Chain A
């Protein structure tokens, strides 16, 4: 394979080669749109910026857009240093090459709420370096000292002489003097920011109100066939044989064939493919998951939780302290149980694949381009660089489109094999709900004690669930002594492994054990805020139980536990004030609090609920205080907070995938309910001012909402929920 420069070492050699090689349209990335190819004669200033002679500035974005605001923050960063309007920047998906891999993940992956943090320096540097070259060009062409020149709105100007040139016009000068990118460049001081830190509307907002935004499902290619897949009734089952006589007789139907995922029907429209699918007669082998059930998972996990697990953390002497506290009646025990959850993105999974000889092209909404490329390359036995990925917008993801198995991608490739035209596979909602990729079911067993003053003294937690990382390519980084530390995020007090943060609480005796549940029945999949979706509930609800045992106000308890964690302590102090904590509520109403750290950003919420006699409840108000470092786009942060907590609220209120005899019982939004407008609380968001580097916010607000609601229900009714969702325990969100 030819030498592919890595992100750190690329640029210089590439730009210095062959005098004037700055203009290298020939090296245009492979996944550019046709429109851009046609435009073709721009200059790559560096990996992320191309400038065209007509002064169109194009950003090559290596983070994907699925509602997260990646395109907005990245264009803002580039625009800030380049002194242009972020909305004037054209955007292309950067190709899936090493050069564009995330420096953090070393993969082409948008995940973990790290886009803003991990691009903050690289995108600004790209803009500043391009600007430096333009300034140098004007300075040499006009024979004026660079410090007399200024940039604004895509133009270099000289105030004294009135001279000005657009960036596009200066390309010829850059070429003439063979101006190279500087080795280093100074970035703007935050006090000079005109764009960053100010509320900015979504970069791709217009297309999302006039219907022109193109999602994967919207792409139409010449001659393309639509595929609908009949899948086995049990996840992991397979086709024994099938009869497609009736299906093939239906209008527009081209073919039916068995693939690993099931039987795919190809037709000239999706509706026709779907209709014909219903006519297939298939003998299924129900496979290894036949007979599994959620109830059995719970029973098995509870039994495992009673046995010693792998030791993840052991601070002080939790077991000894608990034994001593037992005699003084200062111990609380509880087991928390969290179900399987589907992601239910509104745009169902879909992918177009075109296999031609030893090349493959896909059009796929995906968070995880490099992985898709690897999986397809392995599957087809072709070199990785022969797999081209086009990257449309995604209609939500929440982790589902980061599948390490690349399930919906590789099955489209399989369906397209042997076809002369591209094939688009679209999942029905039923397939989506029954896809087998879920937030894994978890059981957390907790035992804790309080000291004489009522403060938590000992904590012993045993977590049982299916590992997200075991046996995957991430095994080396995330499996430590057999434990999946990814699944323990949010219940360890100290930083561990790749996680540079703990809970923010200080409990003197703190022991956490872990069991990896046997892999059966499902494919565990990251779900917005990942481990916090279960560790958050277990930890924050049990902390509430200890607060009750010790007779300490739950918010006061958290303030005391975080006295050595300045950032969380500040968040909690502001929350106490903004939420009117302590102000009496009418009967039937209650307040709950939870505070979490996910990927460095501390976030805490107070929730107010009103509960009726029959268990119907409303969430009336959520106050959310957060510290995400420097907030690059406060308007975007606010939207992510509202949306993040809505996602978590729906999950805790009624999210539940139930498997009986291997079959998923839910199928669509009527039996897998999701949040709707009337259920949405009033949300108040307080972003604390900070000069710290930006950290994530896409998943953070999801982390406290579930336990805060459960704690508020306890506050209102005196009833603890320890099995979720809330609807399974008689609490119905209305």
Chain B
């Protein structure tokens, strides 16, 4: 089976029913995407499928063969960290950091469809991403900051 992950085509040999999460982690060694619950309840495994946030722990690899998969490892470019990553750093969001790949992927997808979300829209879009350290106040702040960084980038 061939997958396109972070812009590169890769051949994988996992069984068709293997969740994308474990193909990324165990076969492709892209371990930035995390396991948290296995049943789409925590968001730690969030990746982008054709730009949309999905839970890779419940997505069989067979379902994503012809699509573009983006993981946390694909967020930074040669120009450096993405605006969302920069906003996360600037706001000092992470504590243990385990959920943050998923948070950043969820926030990036949100901002792609809604460049200037309200607090309520952030809450709704990010409710599926659990942070046990409780970095939620800074997540809210960082999403707003990322939105403004992206709009500056856009107008520049």
Residues of A that sit less than 8 Å from B by CB: 66-69, 201-202, 204-215, 217-218, 220, 226, 251, 269-271, 344-348, 393-398, 426, 428-429, 635, 639-640, 642-647, 668-670, 674-678, 680, 682-683
Contact = CB atoms under 8 A, between A and B. Distances in A.
B134 A644 contact: yes
B95 A69 contact: yes
B92 interface: yes
B99 interface: yes
B136 A677 contact: yes
Contacts of A635: 92
6 contacts: A67-B94, A210-B81, A213-B97, A395-B99, A643-B95, A676-B130
Of residues A271, A426, A669, which shows the largest number of chain B Cβ atoms within 10 Å of its Cβ?
A271
Given A207-B97, A644-B134, A678 B32 contact: no
The 9 closest A-B pairs by CB, nearest first: A211-B32, A646-B134, A395-B98, A208-B97, A67-B96, A211-B72, A67-B95, A643-B134, A680-B136
Nearest to B42: A669
Chain A at the B interface: mostly helix, strand, loop or mixed?
Answer: loop
Chain B at the A interface: mostly helix, strand, loop or mixed?
Answer: loop
B89 A429 contact: no
Given A67-B133, A201-B89, A209-B89, A347 B139 contact: no
A345 B134 CA distance: 11
Given A226-B26, A644-B134, A677-B123, A205 B42 contact: no
B66 interface: no
Interface residues on B, range: 35 or more
Of residues B85, B136, B138, which shows the largest number of chain A Cβ atoms within 10 Å of its Cβ?
B136
B51 interface: no
B50 interface: no
B36 interface: yes
Contacts of B128: 676
A393 B22 contact: no
A611 to B, nearest CB: 19
Interface of B: 14-15, 18-19, 22, 25-27, 29-39, 41-42, 44, 71-73, 75-76, 81, 85, 88-89, 92-101, 104, 122-124, 126-140
Contacts, number: 176
Contacts of B37: 429, 668-669
A209 B92 contact: no
A346 B44 CA distance: 8
Nearest to B85: A209
Contacts of A348: 35-36
B76 A210 contact: yes
Contacts of A251: 15
A347 B22 CA distance: 15
Of residues B18, B37, B124, B127, which shows the largest number of chain A Cβ atoms within 10 Å of its Cβ?
B37
B98 A347 contact: yes
Given A346-B36, A396-B96, A678 B123 contact: yes
B134 A210 contact: no
A413 B137 CA distance: 40
B62 to A, nearest CB: 14
A397 B85 CA distance: 24
Contacts of B35: 217, 270, 348, 426
Given A210-B81, A428-B38, A345 B138 contact: no
Contacts of B137: 642, 680, 682-683
A639 B98 contact: no
A429 B36 contact: yes
B32 to A, nearest CB: 2
A395 B76 contact: no
B132 A647 contact: yes
A677 B34 contact: no
Given A214-B31, A680-B136, 8 more contacts: A209-B93, A210-B73, A210-B76, A212-B32, A429-B39, A642-B135, A643-B133, A680-B137
